[in-house]
Amino acid sequence: MAILTLVRHGESQWNLENRFTGWVDVDLTPKGEQEAVAVGKLLKDVPVDVLFTSVLKRAIRTADIALAEAHITDLPTHRDKALNERHYGDLQGLNKTETTDIYGSDQVLSWRRSYDIPPPNGESLMDTQARVAPYYEDQIVPLLQSGKNVLVVAHGNSLRALVMFVEHLTPEQILKTEIATGVPITYELDKDLHVVSKTILDPKTA
């Protein structure tokens, strides 16, 4: 058995401002830092051998704060843009309400909630999965197969792409799946990496 733990970063400044963030390197808010501390309290009871993050500071800082709180040190760490948030192209930096005023609610909804329709010069969820899934297979799967427990701290859409792959969800199913900030998800995996159990840890108990 191996444990795979997924954590979406704590609230970022542009989450707070309701902006499309994507690959823009925005930092955590004070609330986001508090969420990271709560994650760390929960991680005290979760085995972790290896850490993976995106290259964006909101994920890196969430991991750093959480691991410090959990008193986990000297963890082998891998950072890669393959785990970055979905790239929102021309929408990055725009307020989501203002974007609706510009493009119309139906168009914005199709960009945000479809599986394979990208925003202008950006990525769809399908495009995001096309980089996340191979990275998972190449870099993370061998560790899990060897019995290592892996923590991935990344972003809402890169983690949705990973959840889709791990749970074998359809495009329709993943569109209904949300990943909350600062709420760890743990999977217990068997030797073939089938999901034996899934637990969403409650920060309110931390």
Residue 85: active-site member: yes
Amino acid making up residue 21? T
206 closest CA partner among 183, 179, 172:
183
And the tokens for 123?
Answer: 């990525």
Determine phi and psi for 200, rounding to 5 degrees. -100, 115
Of 11, 35, 85, 123, which one is the catalytic site residue?
Answer: 85
91 closest CA partner among 20, 157, 15, 155:
20
Whose structure tokens read 């991935």?
152
Question: How many Cα neighbours within 13 Å face the side chain of 63?
Answer: 28
Residue 80 neighbours by CB under 8 Å, 6+ apart: 52, 54, 55, 135, 139
Residue 194 neighbours by CB under 8 Å, 6+ apart: none
Residues taking part in catalysis? 9, 85
